[in-house]
């Protein structure tokens, strides 16, 4: 009879730890860390995981490891290695084990409560920073902010913008606020349901909404399905487009509200004497609402169609996969 996977994982961790106890050198530590993980992740990824673990747990560099590789590990780090290896063999992502994820060259806490930021999202943020006028005093809203990595990154790069993040999950809000304090990012974090009637005011929205349909857990890697927050992964029922419809509806409401305000302003202006009329807004900076979003590549065309009433621009990620959408609507 085959053993349960968890039993095999714990046994593998125990065997590796025992070998480290016999030879407590850093060289042996690397072998005991890597051997059981290679069957799960392969040589290249396991090697990268080792170096991340070493740098995080010791504060050292690869050169430090080379210089000390035949020296004995202290007992505290031996125990840490064993605990971390047990978690990794249970398929817990390394970012959760270390409680850190790098995003736009900054380190973010996760507390096991938010999605691990992905490289594709860095590309989305880079697109926003490159495309939007940095000299305008824009109001930017990170919808479903999770760790706050998007809001913090943009707030730090564009301090003249008014940047906010919003999320419904109290645990995510706590993590986002922690990261904002850690990086001294000029952002504010609000508890708002994405489906709420009113959002904080915005000119630009950035969003990576949940888009995996319920019942589609099998399409995810086990580590993601078991450990990353389902609230941030799964759309209601089996509707991958659910939250994209919410975004389209919010854009429509924002445009209608802006037009209503503009009409009232024109009406007030007409009540003034001609010589006292307020100045017209600067026509070199047309008023608009803009949304940036990540999306699943297999639904890219359908999502773009939801925003067909406005100007849309699709962009591929570094792998050549259609992953990002920009929607621009004039008021």
- Residue 95: inside a domain: no
* Residues 108 and 152 grouped into a single domain: yes
* Residues 191 and 73 grouped into a single domain: no
* Residues 123 and 252 grouped into a single domain: yes
- Residue 232: inside a domain: yes
- Residue 96: inside a domain: no
- Chunk the chain into consecutive blocks of 10 residues (it has 331) and report each block's average pLDDT, rounded to whole numbers: 46 53 84 96 97 97 96 95 97 97 98 96 98 95 98 98 98 98 98 96 97 86 93 91 97 85 51 50 59 96 96 96 95 65
* Residues 80 and 119 grouped into a single domain: no
List the CATH number of the domain containing 276: 3.40.50.150
pLDDT at 263: 53
Q: Cβ-count burial of 60 within 10 angstroms (0-12 exposed, 13-18 middle, 19+ buried)? A: middle
Which of 90, 114, 143 marks a domain boundary? Answer: 90
* Residues 18 and 112 grouped into a single domain: no
pLDDT at 18: 52
Distances 50 to 117, 201, 257 between C-alpha atoms, Å: 20, 44, 53
pLDDT at 287: 61
* Residues 265 and 123 grouped into a single domain: yes
- Residue 46: inside a domain: yes
* Residues 34 and 161 grouped into a single domain: no
User: Do 111 and 158 contact (CB within 8 A), yes or no?
Assistant: no
* Residues 47 and 144 grouped into a single domain: no
* Residues 110 and 211 grouped into a single domain: yes
Closest CA to 36 of 70, 10, 56: 10
- Residue 172: inside a domain: yes
Look-up of token digits 């857990």: 217
- Residue 82: inside a domain: yes
- Residue 105: inside a domain: yes
Closest CA to 123 of 331, 330, 326: 326
pLDDT at 16: 55
* Residues 114 and 82 grouped into a single domain: no
Look-up of token digits 């009113």: 198
Which of 90, 125, 146 marks a domain boundary? Answer: 90
pLDDT at 217: 84
* pTM of the complete model: 0.86
Indicate the DSSP class of residue 298: G
Which of 49, 68, 90 marks a domain boundary? Answer: 90
Q: How many domains does the chain have?
A: 2
Domain that holds residue 66: 5-90
* Residues 154 and 79 grouped into a single domain: no
* Residues 42 and 114 grouped into a single domain: no
Indicate the DSSP class of residue 177: H
User: Do 120 and 197 contact (CB within 8 A), yes or no?
Assistant: no
Q: How far apart are CA 204 and CA 220, in angstroms?
A: 30
């Amino acid at each position: 009879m085959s053993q349960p996977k968890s039993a095999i994982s714990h046994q593998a961790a125990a065997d590796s730890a025992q070998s480290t106890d016999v030879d407590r050198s850093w060289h042996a530590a690397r072998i005991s860390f890597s051997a059981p993980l290679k069957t799960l992740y392969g040589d290249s990824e396991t090697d990268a995981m080792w170096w991340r673990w070493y740098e995080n747990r010791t504060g050292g560099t690869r050169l430090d490891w080379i210089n000390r590789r035949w020296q004995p590990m202290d007992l505290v780090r031996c125990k840490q290695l064993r605990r971390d290896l047990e978690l990794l063999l249970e398929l817990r992502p390394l970012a959760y084990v270390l409680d850190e994820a790098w995003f736009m060259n900054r380190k973010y806490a996760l507390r096991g409560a938010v999605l691990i930021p992905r490289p594709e999202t860095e590309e989305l943020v880079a697109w926003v920073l490159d495309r939007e006028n940095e000299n305008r005093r824009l109001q930017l809203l990170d919808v479903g902010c999770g760790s706050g990595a998007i809001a913090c990154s943009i707030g730090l790069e564009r301090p003249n913008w008014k940047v906010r993040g919003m999320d419904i999950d109290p645990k995510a809000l706590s993590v986002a606020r922690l990261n904002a304090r850690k990086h001294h990012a000029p952002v504010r974090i609000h508890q708002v349901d994405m489906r709420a009637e009113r959002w904080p005011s915005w000119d630009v929205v950035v969003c990576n909404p949940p888009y995996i349909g319920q019942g589609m857990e099998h399409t995810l890697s086990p580590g993601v399905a078991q450990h990353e927050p389902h609230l941030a992964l799964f759309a209601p029922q089996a509707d991958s487009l659910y939250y994209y419809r919410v975004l389209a509806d919010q854009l429509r409401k924002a445009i209608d509200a802006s037009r209503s305000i503009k009409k009232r302003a024109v009406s007030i202006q007409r009540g003034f004497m001609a010589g006292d009329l307020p100045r017209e807004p600067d026509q070199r900076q047309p008023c608009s609402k803009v949304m940036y979003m990540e999306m699943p590549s297999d639904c890219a065309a359908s999502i773009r169609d939801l925003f067909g009433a406005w100007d849309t621009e699709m962009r591929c990620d570094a792998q050549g996969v259609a992953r990002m959408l920009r929607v621009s609507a004039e008021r």
